Structure 1
Amino acid sequence: MLIATDSLKKHPLAGALVTGESEEEVVFLLEQLKKWLPSAVTFMTIDFSTRLEAGVNLVFPNILVQKCVFHAIQLLTRGLLKEFTKIKKEYLLNHIKEWKALRKYTLSLEKDDLTAELSPFQFNDVELAKEIYGKLRCCVTLQDSQQIEQALLSLFSTPLFNNWEGKRVFASKYEAIFAKRNFTFSKKSIKYIVPMIYKGFRAAIREIRKKVEEKKSRFNKAKYLVLMNPVNMKPYHRRKLRKYLKEFPWLRPYRKLLVKFYYQFRVPPEKRVSLSFLSRLISDASHTWLKAAVQTLIEHEEKVFRYQCVSEKFPKVKYSKSIKVVNESVNKLVSQLYQTQCGMRTLENIRMRVSNRLDCPIIISPALVEKVK
């Protein structure tokens, strides 16, 4: 459905039930709107749809087009969310997957599944844990129990083991085998000790994996704080953001540039800077959504900030914040009506109910009529 709204009066002017937001359907609504309006249209606020803009340019070629500020901010923040999700997958989710893969691999080896294969790990700590596990297996597969004990003690004194993050958990599990269960290295007890050593190793890597999962959880909270408009932030938001930026310092450049972007909407035109600084947000490896968002904002910069010169262009028009955003409240009314779905069995019923709810004329696109036949 397409709806045209009076930005100053904040009231819908007309709407159309259409097959989609195509250029043809936009032209259909605007042509009808042009006939109904008592005066010429000089200024219009739209979102970043190219089809919508093409339709507007065909019907109203000489008007000033304002790109919705809300959609401009949404465009960039959605792109950044996609970028953060990509980063989370690469550095956190893949990290967790590797820990799980290592655990599965160790279980396969202990079941004598010689077909188990494992590709090299991306993360150094997982690769280190794999190397330690390999050395543990070399130790516990020795024939003599005393040799196993000596080999393990030698391993525990190596820099490789001492630099391992899971050392503390593994050491506590290893000591518990002998302290709590009163085991000693002997030919009889070795068959019980070895499985517990393996379990101790898996307990250690599970603990490390939990830390990564907790970090992922904190990152999920951090990314939304990074995207927040400073104007809307409360003191506790700022405290949390500072805390998260210490943990994820690589988020600082994103935050700095985003704050600068938000600031451009609060300063007068003479103090505003070009949005070209947003290009620093992207690289060759960036998510395509973020690249597209930055490129779109830079290309349409003049139209995004056109609301700042309304007073100069139209001295008789009293400035209103509503001219810089598309009125989304009308869409909420339509959504509420759709959820009830009372009597919406035919296009005519839908047209009548939406028209009554919005208090404006609603027309039906011929293409839609043809489609539902």
Structure 2
Amino acid sequence: MATDSLKKKQIAGALVTGESEEKTAFLLRELKKWLPNPVNFMTIDFSTRLEAGVNEVFPDVILQKCVFHAIQLLTRGLIKEFTKIKKEHLLDHIEEWKLLRRHTLSLEKNEQINVKSLFKFDDVEFSWQIYSKMRKCLFRKDPIQIKQELQSFFSSSQFNKWNGKRMFLSKYHEIFKKKNFKYSVKGITYIFPKIYKAFRAAIREIRKELEEAKSHFSKVKYLVLMNPINMKSHHRTKLRKFLKEFPWLRSYRYLLVKYYYQFRLSPEKRAPLTFLSQLITDTSHPWLRSAVQTLIDNEEYVFRFQHVPELFPKIKPSKFYKVVNESWNKLLNQLYQTQCGMRTIENIRMRISNRLICPTIISLNLLEKI
């Protein structure tokens, strides 16, 4: 769909089977015939196929890459990056705690487990070592020796470094306070299962902290991506709170805010978009890498709107020539996807004529499918 951004009306449309250089040129050739005046300025998105079609039909046109798509391109790349980070540092971490729990249950049932694969996260591996040493103490035959070795282990520097120490010891002492159990041949049959349960309660508490962090991260990532202009006071309050919990997100927020402000600065004050390369690391998501490189390569086209007053003095500054108006494209897609569908040419023409007030053509490939 081609629209006149300044007059806010549709110029021409085409129903095609897909977006390609050929289909774009198909519409633009007809558009060139219908327009009374030459096309000097055109706003498109970042599709290379669309750009190739424009260059074929209008080789001398001044191109503007859509500002909305420029922002969307980077934020989508960052969403992919944050999702990747969430999986690697939170979801995988939580899954390892669950795996440790399953390992302990299997061992207590005398089942075989795969001990060759070490845990990826240090705190899970350390908890596994704590469990193994504690289990080794419980393998002694003499109940008094078991008690002494456990007490010695609980006072060791290794145990004191364990994050689950506080919860474990509180559950451990409850065994003897509530039920009045003692280390004896009969008593250990009741004590051992409760010691194992105390260990699992400790690692469950650690896992819950991670699950809470996961929930917070899901909220903060969208606040990090928000345009400062659209933020209200409660958004800023929440963002400050979550950035204290995830301080490493500050660098992403700083660079993204800097990017947003480039669209408000004059060409003389604007910084080159090469600063966006600071978002990239060796392990960054391919979408983010591609987005940053695309924006750097198309920087001139993205900020072309800043030079419109110089190029076309008679045109008043407007936000409409900065962006692609996709509302009519969405309308056509909705019409085509309805249950009634567009099953005949007459049906197509009738449905489109009721919604659009511009010439619309249908590609031959689509006609063959009807």
* TM-score in terms of structure 1 length: 0.96
Three-state SS of the structure 1 residue aligned to 2:268 is helix
Letter in 2 for 1:66: Q
> Per-residue deviation at 1:191?
1.0
* Alignment partners' CA distance in 2, 1:81 and 1:56: 30
Three-state SS of the structure 2 residue aligned to 1:66 is strand
Aligned to 1:246: 244
Aligned to 1:308: 306
Aligned to 2:73: 75
| RMSD (Å) for aligned C-alpha atoms | 1.4
* Alignment partners' CA distance in 2, 1:336 and 1:25: 20
Residue 306 to residue 228, structure 1, CA distance change in 2 (3 Å): same
Letter in 1 for 2:189: K
* TM-score in terms of structure 2 length: 0.96
Three-state SS of the structure 2 residue aligned to 1:270 is coil
Contact 1:109/1:116 (<8 A) preserved? no
> Per-residue deviation at 1:334?
3.0
Aligned to 1:36: 34
Aligned to 2:289: 291
Letter in 2 for 1:92: L
Aligned to 1:128: 126
> Superposed, which structure 2 residues align to 1:28-67 within 5 Å?
28-67=26-65
Residue 115 to residue 282, structure 1, CA distance change in 2 (3 Å): closer
Letter in 1 for 2:221: K
> Per-residue deviation at 1:89?
1.1
Letter in 1 for 2:197: K
Letter in 2 for 1:144: D
> Superposed, which structure 2 residues align to 1:334-373 within 5 Å?
334-338=332-336, 340-342=338-340, 344-370=342-368, 372=369
* 2:175 pairs with 1:141: no
> Superposed, which structure 2 residues align to 1:91-130 within 5 Å?
91-130=89-128
Aligned to 1:317: 315
> Per-residue deviation at 1:347?
4.4
Letter in 1 for 2:56: L
Residue 155 to residue 30, structure 1, CA distance change in 2 (3 Å): same
> Per-residue deviation at 1:338?
4.6
Letter in 2 for 1:196: K
* Percent of pairs with identical residues: 68
Letter in 2 for 1:262: Y
Aligned to 1:218: 216
* Alignment partners' CA distance in 2, 1:364 and 1:195: 74
> Per-residue deviation at 1:343?
5.6
* Alignment partners' CA distance in 2, 1:28 and 1:334: 18
Deviations 1:28-81 (A, max 9, x none): 011111111111111110000000000000011111010000000000011111
* Alignment partners' CA distance in 2, 1:116 and 1:366: 60
* Alignment partners' CA distance in 2, 1:97 and 1:338: 44
Three-state SS of the structure 1 residue aligned to 2:36 is coil
Contact 1:15/1:361 (<8 A) preserved? yes
> Per-residue deviation at 1:346?
2.5
Contact 2:228/2:257 (<8 A) preserved? yes
Letter in 2 for 1:17: L
> Per-residue deviation at 1:13?
1.3
Aligned to 2:188: 190
> Per-residue deviation at 1:339?
5.8
Contact 2:335/2:341 (<8 A) preserved? no
Aligned to 2:169: 171
Aligned to 2:156: 158
Residue 348 to residue 139, structure 1, CA distance change in 2 (3 Å): farther
Letter in 2 for 1:153: Q
Aligned to 1:12: 10
* Alignment partners' CA distance in 1, 2:154 and 2:115: 27
Residue 122 to residue 343, structure 1, CA distance change in 2 (3 Å): closer
Contact 2:13/2:361 (<8 A) preserved? yes
- Point out where structure 1 has 5 or more consecutive residues left out of the alignment: none
> Per-residue deviation at 1:222?
1.0
Letter in 2 for 1:132: I
> Per-residue deviation at 1:341?
3.6
> Per-residue deviation at 1:333?
2.8
Aligned to 2:329: 331
Contact 1:351/1:363 (<8 A) preserved? no
Deviations 1:110-129 (A, max 9, x none): 11113443511121111110
* 2:221 pairs with 1:231: no
Residue 208 to residue 252, structure 1, CA distance change in 2 (3 Å): same
* 2:33 pairs with 1:23: no
Residue 347 to residue 289, structure 1, CA distance change in 2 (3 Å): farther
* Alignment partners' CA distance in 2, 1:260 and 1:164: 42
* Alignment partners' CA distance in 1, 2:341 and 2:68: 34
- Point out where structure 2 has 5 or more consecutive residues left out of the alignment: none
Contact 1:17/1:351 (<8 A) preserved? no
Letter in 2 for 1:90: E
Deviations 1:273-301 (A, max 9, x none): 11111111112211111111010000100
Deviations 1:206-263 (A, max 9, x none): 1111110110111111111111111111111111111111111111111111111001
Letter in 2 for 1:53: E
Letter in 2 for 1:238: R
Contact 2:80/2:285 (<8 A) preserved? yes
Counting matched residue pairs gives 370
Contact 1:170/1:201 (<8 A) preserved? yes
